[in-house]
Structure 1
Amino acid sequence: MTFMVTIILDLFVAFGVLVGGCLIGGLGAFLIGEPPFVIMESLADKIKIWAVVAAIGGTMDTLSAIERGFLSGAHGEIIKHVLFICSAFIGAHLGTIVIKWFVGSELL
């Protein structure tokens, strides 16, 4: 895959994992009699890091690529993987904003 394709996929996968997890978690909360919006807002904060990990395909590949970049002096490889991680963080954060908007919470 090309660089831009991976950036876009990381962003949307993190966004989808967070939004989907919160929506399904809210459904589960409704089924057990808990307030769904409260649970959804709590889940948005709790699963943000897991959305990033899912988007980049596990941390070990990325960390080993960054290590190889440091050891071989390939700074471009380091920057590329840091941008992949940043893209996933942006997607997860956008997902959190959407969930907080959906439940009527403060956005910041």
Structure 2
Amino acid sequence: MRSMNLILSKALIDFFIAFGVVVGGSLLAGIGSVLAFSPPSAMMLDTADRLKIWALVAAVGGTIDPMRVIESHMMHGQLSPVAQQLLFILCAFIGAHAGTELIRLVCRGSG
């Protein structure tokens, strides 16, 4: 049970790290574009799209280690660590995507 709680808490942390990278980076890009006298909405939308993959990388550790874990454990038939890494990557992707969609919603408004 404790192991499952640790896995779920890491997955939740990965979600919010990726979400925060996209939202924070986009908001700061919007502030920068205001200071540079350019349209902030366009800059925020573009930045959110470009940060999405980097948010995923930052959330899962920023290195190739998750891929090594997947490769080494799969070759030995141990699927549990592989499933964990895939869960972490999926949660980070969902967080980055949710951040991108939030920025789209904020920049385009409701109508």
| Aligned match for 1:74, one of 71, 78, 82 | 78
User: Offset of 1:59 from its aligned partner?
Assistant: 3.6
What's 1:44 paired with? 48
2:94 counterpart of 1:90 = yes
What's 1:28 paired with? 32
Q: Greater shift after overlay, 90-99 or 65-74?
A: 65-74
Distance 1:21 1:52 in 2: 13
| Aligned match for 1:14, one of 11, 15, 18 | 18
- Cα RMSD, aligned residues only: 1.5
Distance 2:44 2:102 in 1: 11
User: Offset of 1:104 from its aligned partner?
Assistant: 1.0
After superposition, the C-alpha distances for 1:41-84 in whole angstroms (9 at most, x for unaligned) are 11111110000000001241101110111122111111110110
List gaps (5 residues or longer) in structure 2.
none
| Aligned match for 1:102, one of 77, 85, 106 | 106
Task: For 2:47, give the aligned amino acid.
Answer: L
Alpha carbons of 1:33 and 1:12: their partners in 2 closer, same or farther (altered >3 Å)? same
- TM-score, normalization by structure 1: 0.93
Alignment coverage as a number of residue pairs: 106
User: Offset of 1:88 from its aligned partner?
Assistant: 0.2
Distance 2:98 2:25 in 1: 14
- Identity level (%): 42
What's 1:55 paired with? 59
Q: Which runs of 4+ in 1 moved over 2 A?
A: none
